[in-house]
């Protein structure tokens, strides 16, 4: 597959959130404010890109030669957790206000199924290192794009005349469903 095509497809057509429904916890948890969504998006881009690179080399240079591919889940989670811990320390030290906005959701990147899903899909799809980087960067940018767009919609919905029973998460679920329908419209079949 062409790298540019893989990159664009992973952002829009096969968006990790809206077509695979991975990463829904931070998607709904941090999408109520623009700043939090951008912070989470950038964090996911960093963690996914670095984790994908490291896990690719570990998988093909350690697990495959030693016939221990069954350890990939544990190894991938360990790598992701290490990068999240480093990112957590850096954001806490240098971006205190962003750290407070992100709260519990920053450490939860470790168990964010979107992050793990992207790293795992790289191996399952048997991508080359160039394809791994294109897919990882595209998927994480797609995550950031969707969470950012969703946050701007949710901010506008806060002041919209919506009946009380639909305020907050109920209207967010409806909005996310409509967004998912729009994105899945472009999936070929």
Percentage of the residues of the chain whose pLDDT score is greater than 90: 28
Q: Is the dihedral of CA 167, 176, 91, 79 positive or negative?
A: positive
**Angle value at C-alpha 41, between 83 and 137, nearest 5 degrees:** 70
State yes or no: pLDDT of 35 exceeds 50: yes
Instruction: Please give the pLDDT value at position 149.
Output: 86
pLDDT tens track for 50-107:
999 999 999 999 999 999 999 999 999 999 989 888 888 888 888 888 777 776 667 7
**Helix or strand or coil: residue 67?**
coil
What integer best gives the mean pLDDT of the chain?
84
**Phi and psi (nearest 5°) for 129?**
-65, -35
Would you place residue 14 in the very low, low, confident or very high pLDDT band (cuts 50, 70, 90)? confident
The residues spanned by each domain of the chain are 3-182
For residue 128, name the pLDDT band (cuts at 50, 70, 90).
Answer: very high
Q: Does the pLDDT value for residue 150 go beyond 50?
A: yes
Cα torsion angle, 41, 43, 46, 47, sign: negative
Separation of first and last alpha carbons in the chain: 17
* pLDDT score at 105: 67
Query: Quick one: pLDDT at residue 56?
Result: 95
Span 172-187, pLDDT tens digits: 888 888 888 877 766 6
Retrieve residue 127's tokens: 């991508």
Q: What is the pLDDT of residue 189?
A: 47
What pLDDT sits at residue 180? 82
Cβ-based neighbour number of residue 147 at 10 Å: 26
> Sorting pLDDT into bands at 50, 70 and 90, what band is 115?
confident
């Amino acid at each position: 597959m062409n790298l540019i095509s893989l990159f664009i497809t992973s952002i829009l057509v096969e968006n990790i959130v809206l077509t695979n429904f991975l990463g829904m916890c931070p998607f709904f948890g941090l999408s109520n404010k623009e700043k939090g969504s951008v912070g989470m998006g950038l964090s996911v881009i960093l963690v996914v890109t670095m984790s994908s690179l490291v896990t690719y080399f570990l998988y093909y240079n350690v697990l495959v030669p030693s016939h221990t591919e069954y350890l990939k889940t544990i190894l991938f989670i360990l790598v992701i957790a290490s990068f999240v811990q480093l990112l957590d320390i850096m954001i806490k030290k240098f971006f205190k206000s962003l750290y407070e906005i992100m709260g519990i959701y920053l450490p939860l990147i470790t168990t964010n199924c979107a992050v793990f899903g992207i790293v795992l899909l790289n191996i399952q799809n048997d991508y080359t290192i160039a394809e791994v980087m294109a897919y990882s960067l595209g998927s994480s940018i797609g995550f950031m794009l969707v969470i950012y767009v969703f946050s701007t919609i949710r901010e506008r919905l806060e002041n919209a005349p919506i009946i009380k029973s639909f305020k907050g998460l109920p209207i967010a679920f409806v909005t996310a469903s409509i967004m998912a329908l729009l994105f899945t419209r472009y999936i070929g079949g």
